[in-house]
Amino acid sequence: MSMAVEKSVVRGDNCLIESREVTYNFGDTPALRGANLSVRAGEILAIMGPSGSGKSTLLHCLAGILVPTQGEVWFDGRRIDSLADKERSMLRRDCFGFVFQFGQLVPELSAEENVALPLLLSGFRRNDALAPAREWFQRLELKGLERRRSGELSGGQAQRVALARGLVTHPSVLFADEPTGSLDSLSGELVMELMVATARDDGTTVVLVTHEPRVAAYADREVVVRDGLVSSLVSPAAP
């Protein structure tokens, strides 16, 4: 896959989420130094970069988890970096979904209860939360694992349950931070295929952090974070 490096950032009318000159410091150490990035609605974007480059920090700023030291973050025409912590929490709960590398499932709950958890937290009744949660087991090839605890699932199965949990509320954006980082290549591929397929079916925007080109290849577009700055890698297949 040949790629050309561009310093500019793709920006368009259909922009759903955007960072503008975002700076973030961990103490005296700068992690981001004026990062600009915009993501279109329905787009699957991969953020790549070496360890410590600031790619996860950028994802956390875009998701409203971290508040940038400087700069702005916009989502759906609304500036979110200036929101109060509670409002950002609500935004994450209602509009965003998340998948992390590992350890995100609540160990006491069964797989289906883990998937239903965001709905229960939003005030759904038990059966109203479990019914849509069970549908995701079918879609993500997890049928029969509904009652298993996280300790009784393989790594790939646990990641698919986490993916189901991230998508069960039909979020506008799914943020995935190294979602295949702890999986073997076969399991990783399955997770990515299902993630991309369901995102496309539902029109969900995906922001994916990975350092694996093979995983990034599932994305519509890839950007690289290096030394706290964002560069675009435009593949020939990119729209």
Burial class (CB in 10 A: 0-12, 13-18, 19+), 157: buried
Q: How many angstroms separate the CA atoms of 206 and 40, rounded?
A: 10
Examine residue 117 and tell whether it contacts another protein (CB under 8 A): yes
Residue nearer to another protein on the CB measure, 52 or 203: 52
Least spacing, CB of residue 224 vs another protein, in Å: 19
Residue nearer to another protein on the CB measure, 98 or 137: 98
Examine residue 134 and tell whether it contacts another protein (CB under 8 A): no
Examine residue 82 and tell whether it contacts another protein (CB under 8 A): no
Q: How many angstroms separate the CA atoms of 80 and 73, rounded?
A: 6
**Residue 159 and residue 181 in contact, taking contact as beta carbons nearer than 8 Å:** no
Examine residue 90 and tell whether it contacts another protein (CB under 8 A): yes
Polymer length in residues for the chain? 239
Examine residue 96 and tell whether it contacts another protein (CB under 8 A): yes
**Residue 114 and residue 158 in contact, taking contact as beta carbons nearer than 8 Å:** no
Examine residue 65 and tell whether it contacts another protein (CB under 8 A): yes
Q: How many angstroms separate the CA atoms of 157 and 206, rounded?
A: 20
Residues found near another protein in the complex (CB under 8 A): 26, 56, 60, 65-66, 86, 89-94, 96-98, 100, 103-109, 113, 117-118, 120-121, 124-126, 129, 151, 166, 177
